[in-house]
Amino acid sequence: MNRIPRKPGLVSLAFVFLVLPFVSACTGAESVTCESGLVCPGSRKCAISGDMCVSKTCGNTLTEAAEECDDGNNTDGDGCTSECFRESCGDGTTQRRIGELCDDGNQVGGDGCSANCRSVEICGNGVTDANTAEECDDGNTVSGDGCSVNCLTEGCGNGVVDRASQERCDDGNREGGDGCSADCSSTESCGNGIIDTIVGEVCDDGNRRPGDGCSADCRSNEQCGNRLLEPALGEVCDDGNRKSGDGCSENCTSTEQCGNGITDTTVGEVCDDGNRDDRDGCSADCRSNEQCGNGLVDSHVGEVCDDGDRDNGDGCSADCHSTERCGNGIIDRVVGEVCDDGNVQGKDECGPDCRSTDRCGNGVLDVGEQCDDGNNVDTDNCLSGCILATCGDGIKNTSQGRAEACDDGNTSDCGTCSHDCTQPQSLNPATGFITVAGFLWDSEIITIGAGSVRYGFEFDTNGYVASFNRRIIIDGIPLPPHETIADRLVEQIQLVADHGTYRLPITASRLAGTSTVKLVARDPGAAGNQLITESVSDSAFVVQSMSGGYGRDCPANKGCVVDDDCAQASPDGSRCSITPGRATGRCQPR
């Protein structure tokens, strides 16, 4: 800590003179009297100034005993006091000789004495004290000279409106958007003639009147395309541009929506009657004036076509109500139609081209007719359906130059007539034969089928047979007689033919005096013609597959005249389905 020396004042000196006569008697011979009359005891000496006593060693340039410094003199204000103590800011003594103007015992500014003790920190002292927020200090407290009365630099942001600098306001800062612009030139209010963009102005013509190119709030230049809606100018929209076709017209007077009463051709409108209704001369989408010949099909007013004109014979009638095509239900005589029943099938009182009444027997060869001999007789070369008589038409023709023996409605070998209609094919069941001979081994198999059912029959010597086969016992050595084995085979065939869910439609019997088993299909027809398979290794064992079955074999959709023509392979079989009035039909499931 710095020591703070005490310096005698005038009162001290007066006291010295008063007591001097008494002190002299007590001081002794070593005391010293200074020029000022001050008497210093023998252990001290007079300072150069003569107004104080100092240590005898202070001023000898040697720092001794309790001295803090010794600069070779006894003068204050040179960094070392007359009593040899250091002089510094913060020691509580104002050392003017070293430039101090104050010393409050610390080196902290902002408390009335600056950190360097050279300012009393008041505006007007000529020292700019940053700790007290001074921006300047020109040694006075007068404004208008570059430094204001409160020591702030005179300019925008000092809180003083400097008219000489063209300031209109000064709110103590340099920020815009708070009622005074950053350069203090505008009060940021609409109508002051200055465009303050920071507060949203896009114009300012010096007044608050709308309709003069700048709105009353200075936020619009009152032009279409500025993205601001100006109803006073007739705007109904403003999308920020001057283009049509984007939901706002180029003049901002239309939202380009059908029904607004404005015909917006840019978006394809040809009319707009102020509503979204059809049948009033302007369609609900404003794209048609609902007149035939405009190229638009206005179905809501009955149009089925519109080719852009009002002419007939070009694929669209003059009233736009017909496509002039056969089958549309409208008789278009201009294109040669004599009928139109709404289809192009024919055989329904109107030909497929609508140019004939399509009646067989009228002696006129209509579209779709193979012939028309003016009658409805089936025994001549033109049948009653106006088709040429041929084998497979289901009618036994007698006047073709060659007589048909039969006709089952097709030209295949299936059914009850041969493919060329020359040979009837009576119903006959299929037959087959199995001759049991030779040596038979365990697990050798025969399979027999008829229709959709097939069974396996397995020869067995050890009592084990696959679950899906029927057992034919051949145990014993030598083997049982072949006739006995044949009888056992017959027995097993008859069991599956007469019992169970899936029955084998075959009758089996052994030919007398032989070991041959005869198989006969229980149902006549070609469905019984099936293979008999076997795995017997001895070539003496012979099978003859089921064959000789005729009839009931035409597949689905094949021509027929009776049920016996159709296949019976399915559980329900099929039948010959004949449309009334026709000679032939088609095999269909029952």
pLDDT of residue 26: 41
Among the listed residues 401, 380, 529, 541, the one whose alpha carbon sits nearest the alpha carbon of residue 459: 541
The average pLDDT across 550-564 equals 87
Among the listed residues 101, 124, 127, the one whose alpha carbon sits nearest the alpha carbon of residue 113: 101
Contact 193, 205 (CB under 8 A): yes
Q: What letter represents residue 537's amino acid?
A: S
pLDDT of residue 355: 82
pLDDT for 440 beyond 90: yes
pLDDT of residue 513: 94
Contact 289, 271 (CB under 8 A): yes
How many Cα atoms sit within 13 Å of 172 on the Cβ side?
A: 1
Contact 104, 111 (CB under 8 A): yes
Q: Output the CA angle 517-522-527, nearest 5 degrees.
A: 100
pTM for the whole structure: 0.36
DSSP 445-507: EEEEEETTEEEEEEEESSS---TTEEEEE--SSSPPPHHHHHHHHHHHHHHHHHSSSS---EE
The average pLDDT across 549-566 equals 87
pLDDT of residue 275: 94
- According to DSSP, residue 511 is labeled P
Q: What torsion, rounded to 10 degrees, do the Cα atoms 413, 414, 418, 419 define?
A: -50
pLDDT for 541 beyond 90: yes
Q: How many CB atoms lie within 10 A of CB 429?
A: 23
- According to DSSP, residue 532 is labeled -
The mean pLDDT of the chain is: 84
Query: Percent of the chain having pLDDT more than 70?
Result: 92
Condensed to tens digits (0 to 9), the pLDDT of residues 313-372 reads 899 999 999 998 999 989 999 998 888 899 988 777 887 888 877 778 877 787 778 888
pLDDT of residue 477: 58
Among the listed residues 366, 412, 416, the one whose alpha carbon sits nearest the alpha carbon of residue 387: 366
Query: Percent of the chain having pLDDT more than 90?
Result: 34
DSSP 5-35: -----HHHHHHHHHHHHHHHHHH-TT-EE-T
The confidence band for 308, taking pLDDT boundaries of 50, 70 and 90, is: very high
pLDDT for 389 beyond 70: yes
Condensed to tens digits (0 to 9), the pLDDT of residues 446-498 reads 999 987 899 999 999 988 999 999 999 997 657 789 999 999 999 999 999 99
Question: How many helices and strands (H and E) does the chain possess?
Answer: 2, 15
- According to DSSP, residue 104 is labeled -
Tell me the CA distances in angstroms from 320 to 192, 327, 334, 460, one per residue in order. 68, 16, 14, 86
The average pLDDT across 506-531 equals 93
3-state SS record for 387-412: CECCCCCCCCCCCCCCCCCCCCCCCC
Condensed to tens digits (0 to 9), the pLDDT of residues 171-229 reads 989 898 999 988 898 898 999 989 999 998 889 899 998 888 888 889 888 888 888 88
Tokens of 216: 């009353």
The average pLDDT across 426-446 equals 94
Cross-strand bridge partners of residue 310: none
Top-confidence residue, 28 or 170: 170
Condensed to tens digits (0 to 9), the pLDDT of residues 112-141 reads 898 889 888 899 888 888 888 888 888 898
Dist CA 390 CA 9 (whole Å): 163
Condensed to tens digits (0 to 9), the pLDDT of residues 82-107 reads 778 788 888 888 888 778 889 888 98
Q: What letter represents residue 69's amino acid?
A: C
Dist CA 305 CA 313 (whole Å): 13
Condensed to tens digits (0 to 9), the pLDDT of residues 134-169 reads 888 888 988 777 787 888 777 788 888 888 778 889
Top-confidence residue, 69 or 511: 511
pLDDT for 404 beyond 70: yes
pLDDT of residue 2: 41
Contact 492, 510 (CB under 8 A): no
pLDDT of residue 572: 65
The confidence band for 400, taking pLDDT boundaries of 50, 70 and 90, is: low
pLDDT of residue 401: 61
The confidence band for 569, taking pLDDT boundaries of 50, 70 and 90, is: low
Condensed to tens digits (0 to 9), the pLDDT of residues 227-265 reads 888 887 888 999 989 999 999 999 999 999 999 999 999
The confidence band for 20, taking pLDDT boundaries of 50, 70 and 90, is: very low
How far is Cα of residue 307 from the mean position of the Cα atoms in its chain?
40
